[in-house]
Amino acid sequence: MDIEQLRQFDAVATYGTISAAADELRMPQPTLSRSLQRLEQELGHELLSRQGRHVELNEAGRLVLEYIRPMLRDERLMREALDRLSHETNALHIGTIAPAPLWHLTALIVERFPGIIVSSQTIDQPQIERLLFTGAIGLAICMEDLRFPAFHSCHLMDENLFVVLPENHPLAGASGVTFHDLDGETFQLLNDIGFWRDICDRYLPHSRFIVQEDRQVFTQMLRNPSAVFFTTDAPQNNMDEIHMNHVTLPILDDAAHVSFRLLARIDGDERATRIFNWVESHNHR
């Protein structure tokens, strides 16, 4: 008796006929019938009452089904857990301090290296240094180079912060604003924005932030004509429809203008090296 036989018996119990079960299992009906007969022989009991094409579980069959379904469920959960473990083990891990450069890098990977699976986490600069040094991540996105000869880096992308204000806001007619101008405003803010949250806390100490965990809820809140929020010039932040009845102004402070770098170990994961080399050569064109 093996797990495949149990799965076949469960299919017959579920679909009511051997032919329907065989279709679902994509196997010949005679093969399924012989497998069920072997199962009955191994258990020493008939499990099915056969009435033409239709079959029903007898008392022994119902007892067996009661025991095997938890076994089949556990086997399925085990396989799913193993698949997740395999995915995590085979994935190229990326650490980033902000979401937009990760989106940009992921788009490049999907386009140029479709066979590479990636996983990512948003972390701060000290964590990036430690995890890249230990090999826990294969690539890192940050704003500073690491001062170790074992790493190399290249420019990945730039990102500039803007504020989006209602058309009737007192600052709406300005050509640009500073954090000092904005300090004290109430902002709609998405939770997972990486280091940009630190910038908000540092340069807007008197402001209030209404933080949304869910991106869809956040997007809906921005449709409020009185909403005040931030956006950037990252391509993934194209929200022109949401910006109706609003004006978008650049923030003039240096802290609102960021250059991201891609870092990798010189002796690191071969996939990370391929991606790094492509990004470096692409940005030099």
What residue ranges define each of the domains in the chain, with the CATH number in brackets? 3-86 (1.10.10.10), 90-157+258-283 (3.40.190.10), 158-257 (3.40.190.10)
Residue 145 DSSP class: -
Which H or E run includes 33?
helix 29-43
Query: Which pLDDT does position 80 carry in this prediction?
Result: 72
Query: Which pLDDT does position 202 carry in this prediction?
Result: 93
Give the confidence band of 16 by pLDDT, cuts at 50, 70, 90.
confident
d(CA 196, CA 282): 27
Query: Which pLDDT does position 135 carry in this prediction?
Result: 83
Lowest average pLDDT, out of 45-59, 71-85, 256-270, goes to: 71-85
Span 87-137, pLDDT tens digits? 556 788 899 988 889 988 998 898 888 888 888 888 887 788 788 888 888
pTM: 0.63
Span 227-281, pLDDT tens digits? 999 999 886 655 555 567 899 999 999 999 999 999 998 888 889 999 999 999 8
Residue 81 has pLDDT above 90, yes or no: no
Query: Which pLDDT does position 74 carry in this prediction?
Result: 84
Token pair, residue 271, equals 């996939």
Lowest average pLDDT, out of 43-57, 90-104, 208-222, 238-252, goes to: 238-252
To the nearest whole number, what is the mean pLDDT of the chain? 86
User: Using N-to-C axis directions, what is the helix angle for 18-25 and 29-43, rounded to 10°?
Assistant: 110
Yes or no: say if 218 and 147 are a contact pair by the CB < 8 Å rule: no
State the virtual CA torsion across 46, 51, 54, 57 in degrees, nearest 10: -30
Query: Which pLDDT does position 163 carry in this prediction?
Result: 96
